[in-house]
Structures are given as C-alpha cells and as structure tokens.
Amino acid sequence: MSSDALVDTTARATQGWLYDTNAMVKIELLRRPTVPAPIPNSSRDDDEENDGPSNGDSVDQDPPAWSFHPVYTYPFYGTDQQIAGYRNPRVVIRSSAASLVTHVAATYDAKSHEATLDLAQPLLEFLPSDLIHDDVAFAKALANDTKYTPPGNVVLEYETANGVQFQLFECTVSTHGFPTLYDRLKIFAMYFIEAATPVDVTDPAWTFYLLYRRHPSSSSAHLPYEFAGLFSTYSFYLFPNRTRKRISQVLILPPFQRQGHAARIYAHLHCTAMADAQIGELAVEDPSEAFDVLRDVSDLRLFLRGPVPGRPDSDRGLAAVPEVDVADSATIDGELTVAWNPLATRSAPTLVWGRKHDILQLCTHSVKQARVRGLRAFAKLQSRQAERIYEMLVLNEAVPAGSRRAPPAAFRRMVKARIYRAHKDALEAVADEEQRKELVHETYLQVLDEYLGHLRLARRAGVA
C-alpha cells in the first residue's frame, strides 16, 4: 500500500476522490514465464461492456500479458461500483495465463480520512485461497507453469483462420486438479457475468468446459496454455428416465471475444447432446440477448449447412427436421398443445422422416406441431426454441437468400398465432380489438426482422 500521508477532505465526493471501481481494478493474464514490467494504465474502451477486447483486437498480437478491466465490480464494492476517499486508486490482479495462480497488489496516490474501505479487501473473499502477495513467490510460481497442462479431457480441438490453436477440456468436480483451478477462476465469472456466483464444486451434477489457447511445444517464450473461457452445465433429472442438461455460465475473456469461440463450444455441446440418448433436452439458463442470437444462429446453421448428426449429408433445412405423430396428447381448446413433451415417455418417440409439404402446409397447425415435436425429440431443443427455429426454417424456404419477396400470409398467421399465445393475458387486457391487432402486427414485424437477420448470419460461411 502507498505510504503517502493521509489527506483530509471535507466532502467524500470531492472531485478526484470518488473513483469507478471497474476502472480501478485491472486484470493481467501473464503469458510468459517471467513477470513483465507493470503495464501502464490506459483509458478503458467504451465498448468493453459489449464483449469486445480491451487491449488488443485479436490473439495474433503478442504482448507479455493480456490486460483488461472487469465489467462488474458491484459484488465486491456495492451497486454504485465506486470507492471514495482515494486519489488514483489501483488494484492490479495478476494471474498466470496457464494455471491462474494469482497475485494482488493495491496502491494509491493519496488517501483521505473519508476512506473507510480497504482497496483490495472486498475482493479477498472471492480471490483464490492460495492467493500470493509476495512478488518473489509469484515469480517462482509463474516460472513453474512452463510445463502446465490443464485438468480434464480434451473434447474439442480447432485452429482459427490465423493459425491459433485452441483446446476445450471437460472437467467434473472429481477431476484431478480442477477444484484448485476453479478456486482461481471463479472470480472471472463474477467480473463478466451479471449476478454470477461461485458454484458448489462438490455437486457432481456440474460439468465444466475450459477453453485454452495452446502454444506449440517449441515456443519457449510463452507459457504452454492460456486460459480463454469457461462453459458450465448442470444436469437435472428429466422424467421418466433422462437428463436435462442446462448451460449455466458462459464466459469468454475479453482478449478472445468476437472470434467465434462461444459459437464453437455451443455447437459442440449441442451436437454432443443430440448424440447422447440419455440427454433429453439441452437448455440455457437466463440467456443474455447476445447468447440468444448466438444460439439461434448456431441452431439454424446446423440445419442449413450441416452436417446434421445421424442424417445423410444431403439433408438440409426442413429435410433434416423429422415429424412426431402423437395420437393421444393433451389438448387445449380441442387442439394438440405445443407444450406436449415428447421426452416424457419411457420409449423414444417415433421420428418420421421425408414427408413433403408445400409452404402453406408447413404453416398449418398440425404440421407445425409435428415438426416442433420432431425438433424437440431429435435436436433436444426447448419448446420455445424449437418453435422459433421451425419458423425460421420455414421462412428460409419461403424467402430464399437474395429474395426480396414478402413471406406468404400463411407464415404471417402462423407467427402471429404464437405471438398471441405468448402474450395472451396482456393482449386480452386491451379492450380495443383493433389495438390488439396492431400490437400483434408490430411485434410480428419485429420478429420477422430478427428472423431475417439471423438467417443472413446463418447462411454466411465460417463460424458465427
């Protein structure tokens, strides 16, 4: 801590004595086996909260450390994310990019009698239990990481367009070395995922997926691995004899964002779930708007570009979506409900492939329900997601790439019917029928614009 003498101030919020804690905390991921000189403070990127890299646009740059700021510090410093009583406070959290062994240091230029909170103290509860304060001990730990290998099994490997290699490691709570690693990385989720809290690493229902950049073994100038992100999933019992796998936390660190990593990992988890007869559904917990887009585009790309697991390579679009016929299902107002669960049966539902329908037939209630059930049973999608993906696949048939024609009236009626069901209570509270119709139509136009945008992204080459 700085040894500067205390300075008395009469107002806590006097200019220069009230500081943004997001800017105060700086995270450095050290990429080499020696501790670099301190990285100078720089102004924060205004777009950092939108998942963009802060110091460096892509991983093909080669700084000694990745340096960035958290998006959220309210779990530590309160909802205002401010600290009073210090002039130019700094908390630098340095971690090995490989093992995430961590060192913390706090400094300031001056301190007033209004300062009632120690700079680093609020973080200590969530920083790792083996936190290092001594510079020499940290340098030694960093040097020991030259032979580090992440815990778990490699379940996915890929190389980016610029030749950078990545590996995805799958871990459970019983994986050797994982509890220690999670103790070090848990605070990263709190920095970047709103309302995130550490998970119970004694609960065997959790599975963790750790994304690492891998350096060639011949590259002695770097640590062999760099931690880039985390996915966590939780497995629930799904009646009568299956499992619902729920994606819980999704984190890609700022230096690796906007490079398609989250899309690759989601696609891997989705295809793995489709191939696993024990998994009945792949769910997502409270997805952000950005992750909703990623999931839509990934699901669409699976069916538009393939390969679709278990299907001939020629099956694309609606040809890769089966139907499920159910004679005895619950009804609402005399019609089969989309909420019917094709998984709540001890025997797998019979999938019917290859039925041909024109656009008008695809928009009818009966065909839509049969295909939505097929998406739920075959692609393991949640009910709402299955409906939306089906509607987008129909739109893809009705309005091919490059076409400017409007979707047929049957498509419009099909989507509006879903919109009305989703907002039935609110719409029926509107007394004027014409106003209700206008509200539904305005929502339809927004949905149509969203669908067309997602289709454009899904049709592009490469990873979303």
Task: Please report the pLDDT score of residue 114 as a whole number.
Answer: 84
CB-based contact 433:420 (threshold 8 Å)? no
Task: Please report the pLDDT score of residue 354 as a whole number.
Answer: 87
Task: Please report the pLDDT score of residue 9 as a whole number.
Answer: 41
Task: Please report the pLDDT score of residue 341 as a whole number.
Answer: 54
3-class state of residue 326 by DSSP:
coil
CB-based contact 66:28 (threshold 8 Å)? yes
Task: Please report the pLDDT score of residue 307 as a whole number.
Answer: 87
Can you say how many angstroms the Cα of residue 414 is from the centroid of all Cα atoms in its chain? 30
Task: Please report the pLDDT score of residue 327 as a whole number.
Answer: 56
* Domain limits, the chain: 6-146, 149-305, 317-459
Residue type, position 440, single letter = V
pTM, whole model, 2 decimals? 0.88
Give the pair of three-digit tokens for residue 69.
Answer: 């700021």
Task: Please report the pLDDT score of residue 15 as a whole number.
Answer: 60
What is the domain class of 149-305 according to CATH? Answer: alpha beta
Task: Please report the pLDDT score of residue 221 as a whole number.
Answer: 85
C-alpha 250/C-alpha 248 separation (Å) is: 7
C-alpha 239/C-alpha 233 separation (Å) is: 19
Q: Which fold has domain 6-146?
A: Histone Acetyltransferase; domain 1 (3.90.360)
In this structure, the number of other CB atoms found within 10 A of the CB of residue 452 comes to 14
C-alpha 188/C-alpha 253 separation (Å) is: 8
- Average pLDDT per run of 10 along the chain, which is 464 residues long? 42 68 97 82 42 41 93 97 94 98 96 89 96 96 96 97 96 97 98 95 97 86 96 94 95 96 98 95 95 97 91 89 70 38 60 91 96 95 97 96 93 97 94 95 97 95 54
In this structure, the number of other CB atoms found within 10 A of the CB of residue 277 comes to 8
- 6-146 shares its CATH topology with 149-305: no
Q: Among positive and negative, which fits the CA dihedral 293, 294, 299, 304?
A: positive
C-alpha 125/C-alpha 123 separation (Å) is: 6
* 366 closest CA partner among 318, 334, 388: 334
Decide the pairing of beta strands 82-84 and 18-20: antiparallel
**Number of residues that this document lists for the chain:** 464
| Cα angle for residues 389, 314, 156 (degrees, 5° grid) | 70
Q: Which residues have C-beta within 8 Å of that of residue 253, sequence separation ≥ 6?
A: 29, 66, 68, 188, 192, 227, 228, 229
Task: Please report the pLDDT score of residue 325 as a whole number.
Answer: 84
* 448 closest CA partner among 458, 440, 437, 459: 440
CB-based contact 351:323 (threshold 8 Å)? yes
